[in-house]
Amino acid sequence: MWKIFYNEEQHTFAELGIGNVRRLWKNQAIDKLIFDVEGRSIFDDPVFASGSIIKIFRGEEKWFEGVISQTPVYGSAKLENHSYEASGVWWFLENLIYQQEWKVPSDSQDPDSSLTNIYKGHIILGQNLDGEKITIGEQIADIVNYAHSCGANLTLGTVNIDVHIPFDECKDLSCADAIRRLLRWVPDTVCFIDYSQIVPEIFFKRRAQLTSTSIDLLSSIEQFSMQPRHDLLVPAVVLKFETNNSTNGKAWKTVNVQKYPEGAEEIGFKTLVLTINLEGAKSTYITQKITSVAIETSSTLWWTQHVPWLAKFTNVFIANVTRTSSLPYELINGSVADWMSREVEDDVIRANVSYRNSDIAVVDQDIAIKIRATDAETESYGKLISMLTAETVPNNLAQSIFESVGVLQYDGSITLVDHEVGTKYEQFLLNFISGRAEWEGINAVVQEVVDNLDRGEIYIKFGPAKHLGAADLAELTRSGRLLYESRNYGERTTAEAMGSGTVEQGVYSRVEDTLTGDCKYNMLKFVDSENPNSMVKIDASDLTQSLNVLLREEDICESGVLKKRFSLASEPFLEP
C-alpha cells in the first residue's frame, strides 16, 4: 500500500487522485518522483505547492522524500490533469554551492594578525583545512556534512572510497558538481539514497562494495539488451604526475609514473594514460655574500688601505690605537641582516700616525676611521624565505582507476514488468541468470532506474555511466585533461600566497669614513703646479737652533709710506 505524506497528513494515492507514479533515478543525479493528479482542471490550484515536501511510504517504510520542484498542468479535449515532479534530496546538493573554510587574517589591514576561518567558493578538493590530503570518501563526507549543516535534509550514510587524488582547485561548484568531479576518479561508484531513515541517508559505494542480485531472464521481462564493452576495457592505467618545482624562480619539472598493473607497458593501445599536474616544491632563498677582513690595526698596510693617501708616504708609523668595538672583522662587501645572527657595530678606530716623503713630514697626526666591525666571516649566508612542500603523489590512484576500468563491463538495459515495485535496484550489482553463462557474474553497475508504480514496471539501465561521461577512453582521460595543479593549496591553511615571504634585507653594510686631526708637520713643500721648479719649502729640520719660526709683524716702507706686514721669522738668536 503506497501512501503519501504531505502537509503533515497522510493519504493514499487514491484519496488524492494520484496516478501514473514514476520514480526516476540516475546515478549521481537528482532522483525524481513524477506523478499526475487526475481530475483536476488546469485552472485548479495545485494540490502540492511548489517547494513543499512530500514523503512516499511503501507500507510503513519511507520510500521517497522530496521537494515539489515542478508543477506542470496538462489539458486536452479528453483529459486534464496536474503533473508534479518531486526532486529527491540530491536536489539539495545540486542547489547549494560548496564552500570551504580558508584561513585569512582577522584584520584585513594586517597580514600578521591572527588567522580566522572564512568560507569561500574557491575550493580545493582532496584537502582538509589543515592542508592535508584526504580521500575521496572523506571529501565527499565533508561536502555532504556541509550541505547538511546548511539545512539540506540528508545525512551521510556510508562512503568508503579510500582513494587519494591530486588537489583539485576550482571555484563555485555545487555540492553535486563537486561530488561528481571527485567521482570521476572512481567511475564505478554508485550513489543512492536510503529514504527509510527519518533523515535520508546518502550512500556512495564502489562496484566492489555493492552486493549483487540476480534477475531471472525467464521472469516477466519486456525488453532486455546486453553488450559487453570490450571497447572500454583498458589493459593498464598509467598516471604521469608532472610536478612543477621552483627555487628562487628557477623552475623545473619532475615526472612520477604510477601504473597498474605493475609491470604494465606505459605505451600501448588502449592504455589509459593520464597526465596529472601537481604543484611542486616552491622555495625562495635569500643569499647574501659577506666579505670581511681581519681588522689589523697594527698593520701599516691595513691603515694604508683605509687611508689611501698614506700610500704616498714612506716611514709610516702607527701608534696609540684605540677602538670602540672589539669585533674581529671589518665588513667589506655585502650587508649583514638580522637573520644571519651576526653582530655588527660601528667601530671608530683612532691612532696617531707619523709619515713622511720628500715633500712633507708629519708627526703624530690624529687620524680616525669609522668602519663596520663584525664577527661575520667571509662566506655566503642563506636563509629560506618561503617554502612550500610539493604536493604528494596520490598513492594507488592508478590501481583505483584500473579497478573501475580494467574489468569488462556490460552495457545494457532491462525492463521488468508485472513486478512488485519497491526494490531499489541501484543498490545492487546485477547479474542475469537463465541466459548466457557469463551473464551470471557480470556484476553490472546500475546507472538508471525508472520505477513505474502503477504499471509494475521497472526499467533498469546498467553498465558504465554514460551520462557521467565515462563511457569511453576519451571520456576517461577527461578527468586528467580538466585538472590543473592546485596553486593555492598552501594558502588555504596559512593565508599566505604560495611562495611569498618577507625578504629581510641586510641593514648593515660597509661604512668607511676617515677623519684626520691635528698633526705636526716636519716639512711642507709648496710647488707651483705650472712650474714644478718653483716651490716653497718649509722644513723644520733646517732650523739649526731650537727656536720658533712664526709669522711676525714688521714695519716696511712702501714707496715712502710706512706700513706693516707679517713675515715668517724666527726668534732672534745669537750666532753660536
Shortest distance (Å) from residue 542 CB to another protein: 22
Which three cell numbers mark 436?
Answer: 548466457
Nearer to another protein, 218 or 561 (CB): 561
Shortest distance (Å) from residue 561 CB to another protein: 7
* Residues in contact with another protein by the rule CB under 8 A: 554-562
Q: Are 453 and 2 in contact (CB under 8 A)?
A: yes
Whose cell is 545525512? That residue is: 155
d(CA 187, CA 377): 61
Peptide bond connecting 261 to the previous residue in cis, omega within 30 degrees of 0: yes
Shortest distance (Å) from residue 555 CB to another protein: 5
For 310, phi then psi, to 5°, come to: -65, -20
CA-wise closest residue to 461 among 226, 232, 213: 226
Shortest distance (Å) from residue 545 CB to another protein: 21
Nearer to another protein, 49 or 569 (CB): 569
CA-wise closest residue to 42 among 9, 72, 15: 72
Nearer to another protein, 263 or 560 (CB): 560
Shortest distance (Å) from residue 306 CB to another protein: 48
Nearer to another protein, 270 or 552 (CB): 552
The beta strand positions in 323-427, using DSSP E, are 329-333, 344-356, 361-374, 379-388, 409-416
Q: Are 426 and 192 in contact (CB under 8 A)?
A: yes
The beta strand positions in 153-249, using DSSP E, are 155-159, 168-171, 190-194, 201-205, 211-216, 221-229, 237-247
* 474 beta partners: none
Nearer to another protein, 308 or 560 (CB): 560
Shortest distance (Å) from residue 566 CB to another protein: 12
Displacement of CA 15 from its chain's centroid (Å): 58
Nearer to another protein, 436 or 563 (CB): 563
Shortest distance (Å) from residue 351 CB to another protein: 45
Displacement of CA 407 from its chain's centroid (Å): 36
Nearer to another protein, 518 or 558 (CB): 558
